[in-house]
Amino acid sequence: MTPNFLRVAFVLAACLTTSAAQTPLRIAAAADLEPVLPTILEQFQKETGIRAVATYQASAALAAQIQNGAPFDLFLSADLGYPQKLIAAGLAQGLGDGRAGIPIIYARGTLVLWTRRDSHLPLPSLEMLGRPEVKRIAIANPDRAPYGRAAVAALKKLGIYEALKFRLVTAENIAQAAQFVDTGNADAGFISLTSASTLRLMEDGRYLVIPADLYPPIEQGAVLLSQTKQRVESKKLLVFLMSTPVQQEMRKFGLTPGQDNPAAP
């Protein structure tokens, strides 16, 4: 081989190595994480040098993309059902309780009823929902989103679902449900405490925390995707996500702590 050929080969190899090292982790993240996860990922990069980028959508939509081969490394779902289905299909691996077949419960969500401050409605309450001026109530799609299912469960347990179901306005996900109410396209909405705790919605509106005994727990599950080529880096992010400082940060945004830390990579 000529010296010039060797130099070119060396440069190409170096470029490929650098490119691989800079490939970010690709996170499929539930829509309710959009207010809190960007800051967590920035801190993770500062501490580890590992860059991660997230795509925020309804958990059902993300699960469907993963089943169709979307190139994600990690799935942070708003519930456990979709990660469990991916594990059963051989498309993901959980590390909950130290076992590969169980998703990590990284957080638990809280359902709230939210209204705008300028809506001329009284303070949010379950009784308020029956008022004639409350014509549209936003919820996330109960067929696809755990917060939507939680809202329907709460209304049914209270015995008021049948009276209110024709007022329900269905959003694709919890972030869109919050947008419906904040933009005046709904008079009230069942949204996540995570959304309600953002600066914008704190300024724009008021909320009522729905009693937890009115709906099933919203346990949010994480899994590694089987196709990932960045298994070690993905596990580092999971460990970081479950660390005490990050769990405390998520609590500020309405996500209560999950379970014990997964095993370190």
Looking at the fold, whether 96 and 133 belong to one and the same domain comes out as no
- Domain-embedded: residue 80: yes
Measured CA angle at 186 (ends 185, 191), to 5 deg = 115
List pLDDT tens digits, range 131-183.
999 999 999 999 988 999 999 999 999 999 999 999 999 999 888 999 999 99
Looking at the fold, whether 139 and 76 belong to one and the same domain comes out as no
List pLDDT tens digits, range 64-88.
999 999 999 999 999 999 999 999 9
- Domain-embedded: residue 103: yes
- Domain-embedded: residue 140: yes
The percent of residues above 90 in pLDDT, for the chain, comes to 72
pLDDT at 9: 41
Looking at the fold, whether 78 and 147 belong to one and the same domain comes out as no
On the question of pLDDT at 111 being above 50, the answer is: yes
Sign of CA dihedral 85, 90, 91, 92: positive
pLDDT: is 149 or 99 the higher one?
A: 149
pLDDT at 265: 41
- Domain-embedded: residue 54: yes
- Domain-embedded: residue 264: no
Looking at the fold, whether 104 and 230 belong to one and the same domain comes out as yes
What average pLDDT score do residues 117-128 get? Answer: 92
- Domain-embedded: residue 265: no
pLDDT at 22: 67
The parent domain of residue 177 ranges over 111-209
On the question of pLDDT at 3 being above 70, the answer is: no
Looking at the fold, whether 118 and 204 belong to one and the same domain comes out as yes
- Domain-embedded: residue 262: no
pLDDT at 53: 97
Total domain count for the chain?
Answer: 2
- Domain-embedded: residue 263: no
* Among 54, 33, 30, residue whose Cα is nearest residue 197: 33
Domain boundary among 169, 192, 209: 209
Distance CA 32, CA 106 (A): 13
**3-class SS of residue 198:** coil
Looking at the fold, whether 102 and 120 belong to one and the same domain comes out as no
What CATH number does residue 162 fall under? 3.40.190.10
What pTM value is reported for the model? 0.82
The percent of residues above 70 in pLDDT, for the chain, comes to 87
On the question of pLDDT at 264 being above 60, the answer is: no
Looking at the fold, whether 29 and 48 belong to one and the same domain comes out as yes
Looking at the fold, whether 55 and 147 belong to one and the same domain comes out as no
CB neighbours (10 Å) of residue 79?
23
186-197 b/e with 16+ CB inside 10 Å = b?
bbbbbbbbbbbb
Looking at the fold, whether 196 and 120 belong to one and the same domain comes out as yes
Write the CB contacts of 73 (distance below 8 Å, at least 6 apart in sequence).
25, 26, 27, 224, 225, 228, 229, 230, 233, 234
pLDDT at 8: 40
pLDDT: is 205 or 253 the higher one?
A: 205
On the question of pLDDT at 197 being above 80, the answer is: yes
pLDDT band at 214 (very low <50, low <70, confident <90, very high): very high
Looking at the fold, whether 157 and 86 belong to one and the same domain comes out as no
Looking at the fold, whether 62 and 31 belong to one and the same domain comes out as yes
Looking at the fold, whether 66 and 190 belong to one and the same domain comes out as no
